[in-house]
Structure 1
Amino acid sequence: MQKNPAECTTMADVRVEIDRLDRALMTLLAERWGYIDRAAEIKRPLKLKADIPARVAEVRENARRHASELGLDPDFYEGIWAQLIDHAIAHERSLLGEANQ
């Protein structure tokens, strides 16, 4: 049975909920990765590069804004998103044959 933080009375309760959320986050990241693959498929015939700086800036700003709106540290979460973006761009470059660029 899922509990909110206030309903957790033991560290075991807290750990169960953190593990549940970690799994949910991984599921969402896996879903996001599917869109990264699809982006590369769409970019190929359009001859678009993996790295589109305006979009990178937009995604990073979205991460900052969402973090701030949720009371989270925008610098920290933008940093996490920067790593996600860098990893996605490297993957797209590989799929698009840009790996050596």
Structure 2
Amino acid sequence: MNCTHPFLDADGDKLREECGVFGAINAADAAAATALGLHALQHRGQEAAGIVAWDGVEFRTRRGLGHVAENFSSQEAIAELPGHMAAGHVRYSTTGGSGLRNEQPLYADLA
């Protein structure tokens, strides 16, 4: 770590800020709040958008290529994501190529 600049490592790599991330905790409709937050961050990434929500029992996720409004503007889309906690992501690809397989948030049930 380069002590003179906290965001540079020994190889000269630096912090990159291409995508957008938003989350809501302890919210009555966390997925709707997260979709609204991602909409405000749409300029950070326009390739794809995704949200994962937690209802205290189960994680549910929805991801799609395109803008936030194309994926989360309907009541049906938000209804698929019940819960009081949610996190979302808008993608601006810098590596890994375009496509749904690179869209976050990623979720895996390892139990």
Q: TM-score, normalised by structure 2?
A: 0.29
- Kindly indicate which of the two structures has a greater share of residues assigned to helix: 1
Which structure exhibits the higher relative contact order, with contacts defined as CA atoms closer than 8 Å and separated by 6 or more residues? 2
- More strand per residue: 2
